[in-house]
Amino acid sequence: MKQRVGVYPGTFDPITLGHMDIIRRGAKLVDKLVIGVTTNISKSPMFSDEERLEMVRRECAGIDRQIVVTGFNALLMDFAESQGANIIVRGLRAVADFEYEYQMAGMNQQINSRVETVFLMADVSLQPIASRLVKEIALYGGPIQKFVSPAVRQEVEARVAELGRKGG
């Protein structure tokens, strides 16, 4: 039987408890989950590619599943093919996510019909969490501990302090 390989792509800037929920649940659906950490320059990342890779690897270390964390800077379907993936795992938080993800899944299906997209709804308590909002809250000195792990919180707060020193 062919191994089920899933790819969960994202910028993970930073990785949130919502991402971790999707990773834990997505890993149960496949034999191997490849977490593809990509750069989306339109999102102006707070952390470098290498920092995000390290952050995701550390956060996933305790999950008892076959998980590989790797960076990529290519078309998602080309990356999925290179990883031997037959499933793309995507998390959904709200209707707005669905519209975008539905369109992306349709485009990806046109590019490579051998790879299916599977949508997982984020846990209800985690649905409002978005990396963009976590960064915004942190930049204004707000509390982010409900949205990220303690280690990620420390990294985000340290980066905000560093940005404050550079900017002020």
Is 4 annotated as catalytic? Answer: no
CB 22 within 8 A of CB 8: yes
Which tokens sit at 41? Answer: 């320059």
Query: Helix, strand, or coil here: 116?
Result: strand
Q: Does the active-site annotation cover 131?
A: yes
CA–CA gap between residue 95 and residue 93 (Å, rounded): 7
Residue 109 identity: Q
**Hunting for tokens 């993970």 — which residue is that?**
12
List residues bridging with 10 in a β-sheet. Answer: 37
Q: Which long-range contacts (CB under 8 A, 24 or more apart) does 158-161 make?
A: 159/46, 159/47
- In angstroms and rounded to an integer, the radius of gyration of the C-alpha atoms of the chain is 16
Active-site hit among 90, 131, 135, 153: 131
Q: Which of 19, 52, 135, 153 is catalytic?
A: 19
One of 24, 32, 58, 93 is an active-site residue; which one? Answer: 93
Which residue of the set 4, 43, 114, 146 is catalytic?
43
Catalytic sites, residue numbers: 19, 43, 93, 131
